[in-house]
Structure 1
Amino acid sequence: LVSIEPATGHVKAMIGGYDFSKSQFNRAVQAHRQPGSVFKPIIYAAAISEGYSPASIIIDSPIIFKEKDHSFEKWKPVNFEEKFYGPTPLRTALAHSRNIVTVKLLQQVGTHSAIQMARNLGINSRLESNLSIALGSSGVTLYELVSAYSSFANQGTRIEPQGIRYIMNRKGETLFTANRKETQPISSGVAQIITSLLQSVVQEGTAKKVRSLGRPTAGKTGTTNNYVDAWFLGYTPKLLTGVWVGNDKSEPLGRNETGSRAAIPIWLEYMKGALANTPVVNFPVSDETVFTKVNPKSGKLTSSEDPEGHFELFMKDRLPDKHTESPEIRTENTF
């Protein structure tokens, strides 16, 4: 478990294992594990930054990839439910953690852009330059992921997490003061849109259990193949916490031990205690965004009379019109 204040970068809690006397290996900062679907918001952040919106439509349908050198015959990503859902808005795709939509989105955005976004957000681990990173195939640490999500939680500003703020001697003299390292990897508008998408994960998607916190919350579940790793990263406006559940031998946790089932209960217990007796606050609103009515089937602007229309969040300078399609598809031949 790693918990930080996004606005300050201060580390509030860290748990790296059961018992330090038995194992000094800090899994929170040293264990590189496949993140699964908790990596998806980074792909979406790259897409939103390039002009996509929560209303952008991608077809959820079968797709097969071959490696350029044919060293691997084919890769056929599937959804967790092993079903296909047809035309799908990005908001729905992330809320329900649709794998195929995310892979196709990465194909359109490009792996280079997605990896650069990950780097800007604080992911320093080695990332494979292929489409499988859309599903969290490259190992990262929990600490890195929490650091990356802090930009979503802090209006686009990333403050390097700090475990030590200052050191004083017995005389009260300050011997060391940590330098605050601050960057702006994404705009406040992109951060608000990602937070809004992650709120849908909580309200209608794979993290419904988190609603019992009784506060505005955004977050994402993650589960790797064969239930080896279970994740949940979630935040309120004031506190961001990530939880990983797994074992050192990378053995399965057990059938259906998903991020929702294995990680969220730990996250909830910690957050309820950490936020007890603190005021309930809402997420801030960026002046770069606006709500406007769209048709969910087309992702385009629609009239107030449209019975299927609903309000969606957009960047003010990237509003679609009635004749605008999703951004042009750029195809990559390898995964």
Structure 2
Amino acid sequence: MSKSKSQRPSRRRSLWRTAWRSLLVLGIGAVLLLVGAVAVTMTTLPGFTTLMKSPNGQAVRVVARDGTVLVNQGPSYGGWLRHEEIPDVMKGAMIAVEDRRFHSHFGVDPIGLVRALWVAAADGGNVRATSTITQQLARNLFLTNERTFARKGREALLALAMERRFSKEEILELYLNRVYFGGGAYGIDAASRRFYGHSAEELSAPEAAIIAGLVKAPSRFAPSSDPERARDRARVVALTMARDGVVPSAAALQADIEALEFAPQPKQNNVRYFTDWVLAQVDDLVSERVKPLVVTTTLDADMQRAAEEAVKTNAPEEAQGALVSMTPTGAVRAMMGGRDYVNSNYNRATVAERQPGSAWKLFVYLTAIENGISPRDYVEDAPVTIDGWTPRNYGRGHRGTVTVTQAFAGSYNTVAARLAERVGFNNVAMMARRLGIETDISRQPAMALGTSSVRLIEMTAAYAAVANGGRAVDPYGIQKVETADGRVLYERPADSTRVVLSPWVVTNMTYLLESVISSGTGRAAAFGKPAGGKTGTTSNYQDGYFVGFSRDLVTGVWMGRDDNRPVGRLTGGGNPARAFSAYMRRASEGMPARALDSDIGEDDDLFAEPDMEIYGEGWEEFGEYDRDYVYDPETGVGVTPDGDVEYGDSVEIRDVYPADPSARAELPSRMRSADVPTRPRADGNSGDPPRGGDGWLDEPVDSRRRPAPSTSQSPPAAENEDGPTSLLPPDPM
């Protein structure tokens, strides 16, 4: 019996020894397996240089002309800072908050893990996050954020492997340059530039505290989302920094955090109309597809705010509005593609095609000026029918004999229709093409009153060509594109010097445009400085247009509904003109009041036949003259400089002078007949096309041919309610 009792402790000890041996073998096996797994994982890890490269697509930052950030597209990584370039206070703050034993553990923190389990047992089983900096980096680089034990195991394995593959300095460098800090910013340099406006190399203690506190919940604590919540989180970080000796006093740091100011954050709202427009052009300008880019634009932040206010304040409640403003050379300073980008990102300034109404008359009168009309000439505002179409004036009245200036300032439709018929509808279309209109252009008679749909930015650029002294204008919004490290990939070349309008044409046209604001339909557009422009209103009040310019800015405004329904009494001389005035008044603050180039002299002494050489390179696409002509009013023939008669009885000048001979006698001598050089046109009775170098005048644009319009005089048509009416009423006074 005693022997049996003595054998029991021995058997028990044997079982314990066996168990311990088994556990030891299992432990050694587990360690060997872990070492093997770590070794294998180490071989699959990318190199340090590879991990430095930015994943997740290319980051693009768009800034205004003064450097103000407009928008960040894609992940923003900023510049890469080496470990020695990162401020000690930033490194200390991050380690104090996220992993205080970073320098002593081997990738996983056993002490932190035990403490987390102890707290979880006391707290009812809720385990708090215990990831080290290395584990967080592994998760950010290689894993997802799913909450499973399998993911946690892979995270720990990768952390152990990374600790063997990289030094502590390399791990911390990777972490601080790659972790997400909210607001689209990856890495401390991107975060510093986003929230403070400077490089992370210049981070102060309160700024570092803010950034260190963001890792816990970037979207929630980011200053771009909630500045006060970011400060509250940073005050907690200040306590840990003081505890670990990163800063001497938590109270002093908390006071500095309270006084800290953040950089203004870009509004993700109406400026996006502009940034969407320019970002679509970046791929065409540069070939870089990996490195972060900085796009410097032409936009002026103050002018953009003025544009937003002008459109929102003046657009009818039920209507949309668009505004684009540029320098006379085409640098876009402000753009509104609608009332509110959040509600509708459709860009009505660059994409929408709407009828401009009488704003189109710019091309009619430019063509007429090139063909012999001057502002002080007389024309007839009387009923007219062209190919079965009878245009009518606003109010359906007629004023008889008026000057060209009065007709343009008052936007008389009958006069514009007569002029377009006389110079040729194709030639009006060619003028529009010459000044940058790329949309389809009708050749029907009603085109003289703006029935062809156009884009607002193209119409504004066409007016800019006049403001630019007759030189071609190509609107642009990008001044420079460079990489984040400052390597310039694209820089806007010098402005175009191609001349599309001769100086005397520009001066005469500017004179007419100025009269619209001083005494015509655009009086509401006045803003206290010399300016010219033109109103436009389409039938049933569907569209309201105003485009005009000063010496420094060219601005176009459109208003209407996207569904083309009428807007109650919307006219170009109303809401759009008032929006133009409100915008230009604010946008031109501080600019001198400079007179426009509109001095045509006492007797229109600027009027002269243009020399084709002045149009410069590229004029060939619009046609060219083979010979010069002078029109002889006594014989009615075109005569070349060497005396050759080209053809007889070439044209009778109609509507330019009063029909009453006694009234003609009282005009200045130069107005009694076309005794100034002008271009010959085909005989109105014969219907024969013009000869020689003028054949291009009746050639259609874009190879679309239609019969040359008849120039036969139609008897004035009585107004017939059942007959053809104008597609577009003119602008009301």
- In structure 1, distance between residues paired with 2:598 and 2:401: 29
Q: For 1:277, which of 590, 605, 608 is the aligned residue?
A: 590
Asked if 1:333 is matched to 2:683, the reply is no
Instruction: Select 1:64's aligned residue among 376, 385, 410.
Output: 385
CA contact (8 A) 1:126 1:139 kept: yes
Picking from 225, 231, 235, the partner of 2:549 is 235
- Which amino acid in structure 2 is aligned with residue 199 of structure 1? E
Residue 473 of structure 2 is matched in structure 1 by 159
Q: Secondary structure at the match of 1:114?
A: helix
User: Any conservation in 2 of the 1:49–1:190 contact (CA below 8 Å)?
Assistant: yes
Deviation for aligned residue 1:261: 1.2
Q: Which residue of 2 aligns with 1:291?
A: 602
The separation in 1 between residues aligned to 2:604 and 2:348, in whole angstroms, is 45
Taking the aligned partners of 2:416 and 2:394, their CA distance within structure 1 comes to 13
Offset at 1:173? 1.8
Highest relative contact order (Cα 8 Å, sep 6+), 1 or 2? 1
Does residue 320 in structure 1 map to residue 670 in structure 2? Answer: yes
Partner of 1:265: 578
Q: Is residue 2:360 matched to residue 1:39?
A: yes
Q: 2:375 is matched with which residue: 54, 64, 68?
A: 54
Contact 2:389 2:446 in 1 (8 A): no
Cα distance in 2 for residues equivalent to 1:91 and 1:230: 22
Q: Closer, same or farther in 2 for the Cα pair 1:102/1:323, shift >3 Å?
A: closer
TM-score normalised to the size of structure 1?
0.84
C-alpha distance in structure 2 between counterparts of 1:133 and 1:298, whole Å: 25
Percent identity, please: 34
Q: Is the 8 A contact 2:386 2:445 kept in 1?
A: no
The letter for the 2-side match of 1:279 is: P
Deviation readout 1:104-137 (Å, 9 max, x if unpaired): 0000000121111111100111001121111000
- On the 8 A contact 1:160/1:182 being kept in 2, the answer is no
2-structure distance, mates of 1:59, 1:282: 31
Q: Does 1:26 align with 2:341?
A: no
Give distance in 1, aligned partners of 2:491 and 2:584: 28
Question: Bigger CA drift: 169-178 or 185-194?
Answer: 169-178
Unaligned runs of 5+ in 1: 67-73, 300-307, 311-318
CA contact (8 A) 2:375 2:512 kept: yes
SS at match of 2:602: strand
Q: Secondary structure at the match of 1:198?
A: helix
Q: How does 1:205-224 map to 2 (within 5 A)?
A: 205-211=520-526, 213-224=527-538
Whole-angstrom distance in 2 between the partners of 1:134 and 1:245: 21
Is the Cα contact below 8 Å between 1:38 and 1:231 reproduced in 2?
A: yes
- Measured in 1, the distance between the counterparts of 2:500 and 2:604 equals 29
- Structure 1 SS opposite 2:574: helix
Partner of 2:445: 131
C-alpha distance in structure 2 between counterparts of 1:33 and 1:93, whole Å: 24
Match of 1:187 among 490, 499, 502: 502
Q: Which amino acid aligns with 1:27?
A: R
Are the structure 2 counterparts of residues 271 and 62 from structure 1 closer, same or farther at C-alpha, using a change threshold of 3 Å?
same
Per the TM alignment, residue 325 of structure 1 is displaced from its structure 2 partner at its CA by 7.0
2:403 to 89, 110, 133: 89
How far has the Cα of 1:81 moved from its partner?
Answer: 1.9
Q: Separation in 1 of the partners of 2:350 and 2:373? A: 33
Amino acid at match of 1:262: N
Q: Whole-Å Cα distance in 1 between the matches of residues 385 and 594 of structure 2?
A: 45
Alignment partners' CA distance in 2, 1:252 and 1:325: 47
Q: Which residue in 2 is equivalent to 1:71?
A: none
Once the two structures are TM-superposed, the CA of residue 167 in structure 1 deviates from its matched residue by 1.2
SS at match of 1:320: helix
Amino acid at match of 1:61: A
- Is the alpha carbon distance of 1:285 and 1:257 closer, same or farther for their aligned partners in structure 2, counting shifts above 3 Å? closer
Instruction: Please state how far the C-alpha of 1:62 moved relative to its aligned partner.
Output: 1.2
What code does the residue aligned with 1:141 have?
Answer: R
C-alpha separation in 2, matches of 1:321 and 1:138: 34
The match for 1:146 is 460
Structure-2 separation of matches of 1:53 and 1:115: 20
Q: 1:197 to 1:226 in 2, by over 3 A?
A: same
Which residue among 223, 232, 249 is the counterpart of 2:563?
249
**One-letter amino acid of the structure 1 residue matched with residue 502 of structure 2:** S
Choose 1 or 2 for highest CA Rg: 2
Deviations 1:62-94 (A, max 9, x none): 12233xxxxxxx321100121011122211100
SS in 2 for 1:30: coil
How many aligned residue pairs are there?
305
Instruction: Report if aligned partners of 1:156, 1:186 keep a CA contact under 8 Å in 2.
Output: yes
Contact 1:202 1:217 in 2 (8 A): yes
Query: Counterpart in 2 of 1:315?
Result: none
Write the deviation string for residues 268-316 of structure 1: whole angstroms up to 9, x where unpaired: 1111110112211112368xx543189xx958xxxxxxxx879xxxxxx
Equivalent pair of 1:58/1:101 in contact (CA under 8 Å) = yes
Corresponding residue of 1:4: 326
CA distance in 1, matches of 2:467, 2:404: 20
Question: Structure 1 CA distance, aligned partners of 2:407 and 2:675?
Answer: 18
Tell me which amino acid in the other structure corresponds to 1:22: N
TM-fit CA distance, 1:23: 2.4
Judging by fraction of residues, say which structure has more helix.
2
* Secondary structure of 2:350's aligned partner: helix
CA contact (8 A) 1:226 1:252 kept: yes
- Of 506, 511, 517, which aligns to 1:202? 517
Which amino acid letter does the alignment assign opposite residue 334 of structure 2? A
SS at match of 2:556: strand
What is the CA–CA distance in structure 2 between the aligned matches of 1:153 and 1:143, rounded to whole Å? 15
Letter paired with 1:2: V
Letter in 2 for 1:238: D
Q: C-alpha offsets along residues 159-209 of structure 1, whole Å, 9 cap, x if unaligned?
A: 211111111222222122234444211111111111110111111110112
* Matching residue's letter, 1:106: A
Extract unaligned runs of 5+ from structure 2. Answer: 1-322, 606-655, 659-665, 685-708, 712-725, 727-733
TM-score normalized with structure 2 length: 0.40
Give 2:514's aligned amino acid. Q
SS of 1:87's equivalent?
strand
Given candidates 15, 22, 29, the residue that maps to 2:336 is 15
Cα shift at 1:322: 4.4
Instruction: Give the Cα separation in 2 of the matches to 1:61 and 1:43.
Output: 18
C-alpha RMSD over aligned residues? 2.5
- Give yes or no for contact 2:546–2:580 (8 Å, CA) kept in 1: yes
CA gap of 1:94–1:210, structure 2 versus 1, over 3 A, is: same
SS in 2 for 1:259: coil
**Is residue 28–residue 142 contact of structure 1 (8 Å, CA) maintained in 2?**
yes
| Cα distance in 2 for residues equivalent to 1:269 and 1:14 | 15
- Once the 2 structures are TM-superposed, how far is the Cα of residue 16 of structure 1 from its aligned partner? 0.5
CA distance in 2 between counterparts of 1:42 and 1:148 reads: 9
Structure 1 contact 159–182 (Cα < 8 Å) conserved: no
Tell me: CA distance 1:113–1:64, structure 2 relative to 1, closer, same or farther (3 Å).
Answer: same
Partner residue in 1 for 2:435: 121
Read off the aligned partner of 2:367 and give its amino acid letter.
A
Contact 1:103/1:135 (<8 A) preserved: yes
Aligned pair in 2 of structure 1 residues 321, 22: CA closer, same or farther (>3 Å)? closer
CA distance in 2, matches of 1:292, 1:62: 29
Q: Which runs of 4+ in 1 moved over 4 A?
A: 325-331
In the alignment, is the contact (CA less than 8 A) between 1:117 and 1:185 conserved in 2? no
